[in-house]
Structures are given as C-alpha cells and as structure tokens.
C-alpha cells in the first residue's frame, strides 16, 4: 500500500451545467467524427456504426452533406438549414475540423445553450 498512499484520490467529477455538458459532448462527438472522416477518406472502416455517422447523406447532386447533433437532435446552424454541403468526400475532415474550431471559439454557444435549455425543460 505505500505506493497507493503517494496518490491523491477524489470522487468522480460531475457537472450539473447542461450547457457545459452539451458542449463537451459535442466536441467529443465531433472529434470521433473527424477520426471516422479521415478513415473514410483513406478507404478504411471506422469504429463508428452507421447510426453514429452524421455524414451519410447526399443531396440530389451527389454532394456529401454533414450535420451536427446537440443532445441527439440535428441542429440548424442557419435557419431552416441543418446540413453543411461538403461536396467531395475528401473535404469532410476539413469541414469537421472547422466545426470543432467554431465550437471551441464559442461560435455555437448560443445554439448549444438553447438546445441544452430546451432539453432541460423537457426533462422537468
């Protein structure tokens, strides 16, 4: 036990902040999507199931479409337009990277806050 005595222990941290939880989850999911997108471009399978892939839609012109989900709901980033037109499949990783940067820069904070608040009200 002397080695364990050298370590500091704590309870599992938890956050009661729905906004912080939603933002953290979104970033985590986007990072997983980025890895899946890179593997897709390389022609390799990813660990994500088809249900978890948010980039499996195409428009009438064959362009790849990408959307984000906040609290398991497809989210409109522009009014009435929840999908980002990626175009060529090889562009998907850069689109996902831009979305991660936008989330980290706080550009989606209002959208995330609204969705987290909406979800919290529905739970009560």
Q: How far apart are CA 37 and CA 104, in angstroms?
A: 19
Query: Regarding beta strands 73-74 and 57-58, do their DSSP bridges make them parallel or antiparallel, or are they unpaired?
Result: unpaired
pLDDT at 93: 96
* Beta carbons within 10 angstroms of residue 40's beta carbon: 21
CB 96 within 8 A of CB 33: yes
pLDDT at 105: 96
The region, left, alpha or beta by phi > 0 then psi within -120 to 50, assigned to residue 111 is: alpha
pLDDT at 72: 87
pLDDT in tens, the chain (124 residues): 578 888 888 776 666 888 999 999 999 999 999 999 999 899 998 887 766 666 678 999 999 999 999 988 899 999 999 999 999 999 999 999 999 999 999 999 999 999 988 866 666 5
pTM flag (> 0.85):
no
pLDDT at 49: 72
């Amino acid at each position: 036990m002397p080695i364990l005595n050298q370590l500091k222990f704590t309870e599992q941290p938890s956050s009661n902040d729905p906004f912080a939880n939603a933002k953290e989850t979104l970033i985590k999911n986007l990072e997983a999507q980025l890895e899946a997108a890179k593997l897709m471009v390389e022609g390799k399978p990813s660990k994500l199931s088809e249900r978890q892939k948010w980039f499996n839609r195409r428009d009438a012109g064959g362009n790849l479409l990408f959307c984000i989900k906040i609290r398991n709901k497809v989210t409109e980033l522009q009014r009435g337009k929840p999908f980002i037109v990626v175009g060529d499949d090889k562009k998907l990783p850069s689109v996902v990277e831009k979305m991660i940067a936008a989330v980290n820069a706080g550009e989606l904070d209002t959208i995330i806050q609204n969705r987290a608040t909406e979800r919290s009200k529905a739970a009560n």
